[in-house]
Amino acid sequence: MSGGTEAVRGGTGGTEPVRGDAGGTEPVEAAVEPVRGATGGSTDPVGDRAHGGGTHGGGGPRSVTVRVPAKVNVRLAVGAARPDGFHDLANVFLAVSLHDEVTATPAETLTVTCEGPDADKVPLDRTNLAARAAELLAARHGIAPDVHLHIAKDIPVAGGMAGGSADGAGALLACDALWGLDTPRAELLDICAELGSDVPFSLVGGAALGTGRGERLTELPVGGDFHWVFALADGGLSTPVVFGEFDRLTEGTDVPEPAAPPALLEALRTGDTTALAGTLANDLQAPALSLRPSLAATLAAGTDAGALAALVSGSGPTTAFLVKDAEAARTVAAALTASGTCRTARTATSPAAGATILAP
């Protein structure tokens, strides 16, 4: 079990590191193949550039804040369970304009604090991916991970939008800048992949195809902006449980090899919203609906209000609605909120830049 939306066996997705069957952190390889003409991007905010001296380099900043985006999976194709329990994926990510901010400040020891919606559901110990990012980066450079990480949440918690992964990527970039380490981009991406399958994309942003467990990225060109509405549900869904339900529902069937449809990639390239709406699909939607049947009413409410397409975001329970423009987004969001089928609705656009250091 693993993949772009899958974080840890028995966990809730995105707030803990990927773990193998033995319970230890499982390192995985990350590779990014840029495609010329891709938008969103500052998709290379972590290139080989100097950050300036940090607390381990002398005379550095007293704090560094990094903004990191949420994601939506416009195509999540899931292969059959492998002998190791993981799944191969073809995962087309789009970064969207809902963000967390992670601030790194020098401290006597590693600590994590959090504020924002559902902050009480975010672990503040070393299972948090932000803390793990600081530990792994420090270990690579032979220094102590003495830093206070403060997370300002706006990405839904345990909502299938990679909020925990975003925090891991944000902490990694913030600590690298604070400590003046100038870690090469390839090494940062390698650490991201060790943290979890969604984390590399949180660093890169824009649009990308994730293969393997979702961590091997090929950046994709996007020809325009897409407008979205996200309906937030009460409670979360455990990513490993959703993958387990996928295995149950597909047991005894011939699960095809995961692939990204050429028509979807072309719709992204040309910025054609109507064409993209016709190609959206998520192989985890059926298991998410099996576990949370009430999501079907939310999907229907958004479609009835005029959304061009609707799907469960990642492993859920957040549902995503592609709409024509900003006016349609406001209309659909208001209808969803009034429908009583979700806790609230948020509007956003894509693509969005990956992890980005904010000016002090």
Q: Which of 259, 276, 258 has its CA nearest to residue 267?
A: 276
Beta pairing, strands 32-33 & 216-219: parallel
Beta pairing, strands 147-152 & 226-232: unpaired
φ and ψ at residue 215, rounded to 5 degrees: -90, -15
Single out the catalytic residue among 44, 71, 100, 176. Answer: 71
The SS3 call for residue 184 is coil
The total number of residues shown for the chain amounts to 360
How many Å apart are CA 115 and CA 163, to the nearest integer?
13
Whether residue 198 lies in the annotated active site: yes
**Paired residues of 349 in beta bridges:** 227
Q: Which of 354, 335, 320, 339 has its CA nearest to residue 161?
A: 320
Cis peptide bond N-terminal to 351, omega within 30: yes
Single out the catalytic residue among 44, 100, 198, 283. Answer: 198
How many Å apart are CA 345 and CA 352, to the nearest integer?
19
Whether residue 125 lies in the annotated active site: no
Say if CB 11 and CB 240 are below 8 A apart. yes
Q: Cite the active site residues.
A: 71, 198
